[in-house]
Amino acid sequence: MGANTRPFKEAVYSELARLGKAMGSPRRLELLDLLSQGPKSVEVLARETQQSIANVSQHLQTLLEARLVKFYKRGNYSMYRLSDERVLDLLLKVEEVGEWLYRAIETERESWIHPLDSSRPLSAEELDTLVKDPDVVVLDVRPRDEYEFDHIPGAWSVPLEELEQKMAELPRDKQIVAYCRGRYCLFAAEAVQILRRHGYRAIRVEQGVREWRRSMSVSRGGL
């Protein structure tokens, strides 16, 4: 027998387990998902997740200690963002494996989206072709700060809450393609429902900006 490697194993896997502990909360996973769209203040995160500021702050402290997020000040606001692109990679992989393991995720997702829009959504690859089409308008229906942080080139920013009041600005002779935060976001499905009700030709993209960028990077040999 060689040297006792148990202390080494305990030390290494204890460090790795910090990730599991930090991500082992539905609330913290949702916070990471929101932060994958761009930096946000504690107040915005509390409003988005319908939690108290105190509760959100506790969850953020756990994520901060695990080094999954970073903190900075913007004026009087405490701002948080993902600590690195690799955290986004991890989050996307957790979602991918989770859907592979647990059918209930897709069942729940479809039960919410199908009543809003039962048509087949576009894939990220199909969107990449359509963004170059002059007869297509790509609509980003996320909050404007997320659009400003990152968006699909050429997309128009029309947050869902402003859609009905700004609908007259949308061309009726073009195909409208709406996207939002990704597979666990209902904004695009709601937008398509509203647009169709007003006579527009509209379809949604299932993925968001983060998935679209990775899909394009892979297809072009970037990853």
- Residue 186: give its domain's CATH number: 3.40.250.10
CB contact set of 159 (below 8 Å; sequence gap of 6+): 141, 142, 143, 144, 147
Regions in the chain scoring below 50 on pLDDT: 218-223
Q: Are residues 122 and 161 in the same domain?
A: yes
Residue 38 is part of which domain span?
6-85
- Residue 203 has which token pair? 């379809």
Most distant CA pair in the chain, distance: 77
> Could you tell me if residue 1 is inside a domain?
no
What pLDDT shows up at residue 4? 82
Q: Are residues 69 and 137 in the same domain?
A: no
Q: Are residues 75 and 139 in the same domain?
A: no
CB contact set of 2 (below 8 Å; sequence gap of 6+): none
Amino acid found at 101: L
What pLDDT shows up at residue 109? 93
The neighbour count for residue 56, using CB atoms within 10 Å, is 23
Q: Are residues 138 and 56 in the same domain?
A: no
- Residue 165 has which token pair? 């009041």
Q: Which residues are catalytic?
A: 180
- pTM, whole model, 2 decimals? 0.90
- Residue 157 has which token pair? 């920013």
> Could you tell me if residue 118 is inside a domain?
yes
Q: Contact 209/151 with Cβ under 8 angstroms?
A: yes
Span 171-195, pLDDT tens digits: 999 999 999 999 999 999 999 999 9
- Residue 37 has which token pair? 């769209």
> Could you tell me if residue 104 is inside a domain?
no
Q: What does residue 119 show for φ and ψ, rounded to 5 degrees? A: -75, 160
> Could you tell me if residue 106 is inside a domain?
no
Q: Are residues 132 and 200 in the same domain?
A: yes
Q: Please count the CA atoms within 13 angstroms of the CA of 163 that sit on its side-chain side.
A: 23
> Could you tell me if residue 184 is inside a domain?
yes
Q: Are residues 118 and 208 in the same domain?
A: yes
- The number of distinct structural domains making up the chain is 2
> Could you tell me if residue 120 is inside a domain?
yes
Q: Contact 68/83 with Cβ under 8 angstroms?
A: yes
Single residue among 67, 85, 103 that ends a domain in this structure: 85
What pLDDT shows up at residue 182? 92
What pLDDT shows up at residue 222? 43
What pLDDT shows up at residue 2? 62
> Could you tell me if residue 151 is inside a domain?
yes
Q: Are residues 121 and 196 in the same domain?
A: yes
Q: Are residues 57 and 121 in the same domain?
A: no
**Strand partners of residue 177:** 138, 203
Q: Are residues 118 and 45 in the same domain?
A: no
Q: Are residues 81 and 119 in the same domain?
A: no
> Could you tell me if residue 32 is inside a domain?
yes
Strands lying side by side in the sheet with 77-82:
40-41, 77-82, 69-74
Alpha-carbon distance of 66 to 68, in angstroms, equals 6
Q: Are residues 57 and 17 in the same domain?
A: yes
Which among 183, 116, 119, 169 is positioned nearest to 139, based on CA atoms?
169
Alpha-carbon distance of 195 to 175, in angstroms, equals 11
- Residue 61: give its domain's CATH number: 1.10.10.10
Q: Are residues 118 and 213 in the same domain?
A: yes
